[in-house]
Amino acid sequence: DGGITQSPKYLFRKEGQNVTLSCEQNLNHDAMYWYRQDPGQGLRLIYYSQIVNDFQKGDIAEGYSVSREKKESFPLTVTSAQKNPTAFYLCASKWAGADTQYFGPGTRLTVL
């Protein structure tokens, strides 16, 4: 099956812990993105990567880190520095030169 996968679907974290969210795609997309969705707010961009080994901060990068060692993978680490990490996290990807981003199923992170 072709598509974008995110794991886990649900994640619980204790305060002070770092957690890593997985995003994998087998669509041969070049660019990958991480968004955060909170109730009553629009999606907000955390980080994005247009090519392997390169990434840029989005609008709300503080408290997050990413890596892009492989074209198909773009993991997001939520660090203990993120003050309010409970949210729905969405990964997206697209081909270079194309405009449309396609989204994965999301990971819901809850801090206990």
Partner 1 sequence: EDQVTQSPEALRLQEGESSSLNCSYTVSGLRGLFWYRQDPGKGPEFLFTLYSAGEEKEKERLKATLTKKESFLHITAPKPEDSATYLCAVRVISGGSNYKLTFGKGTLLTVNP
Residues at the contact surface with partner 1, assessed by CB under 8 A: 4, 6, 40-45, 48, 50, 56, 58, 88, 90, 92, 99-106, 108
CB of 49 to partner 1, least distance (A): 11
Please identify, using beta-carbon distances, which residue of 90 and 111 lies nearer to partner 1.
90
Our CB check for partner 1 shows the closer of 9 and 14 to be 9
Closest distance of CB 100 from partner 1, Å = 6
What is the rounded distance in angstroms from the CA atom of residue 71 to the CA atom of residue 66? 13
Q: In the bound complex, what is the minimum distance in angstroms from residue 58's beta carbon to partner 1? A: 7
- Indicate the residue among 11 and 45 with the shorter CB distance to partner 1: 45
Residues 6+ apart with CB under 8 A from 7: 21, 22, 107
| Cα Dmax for the chain | 41
88: exposed, middle or buried (C-beta count within 10 Å: 0-12, 13-18, 19+)?
middle
**Secondary structure of residue 86 in the 3-state scheme:** coil
Minimal distance, residue 67 CB to partner 1, in Å: 19
Instruction: CB nearer to partner 1: give 22 or 80.
Output: 22
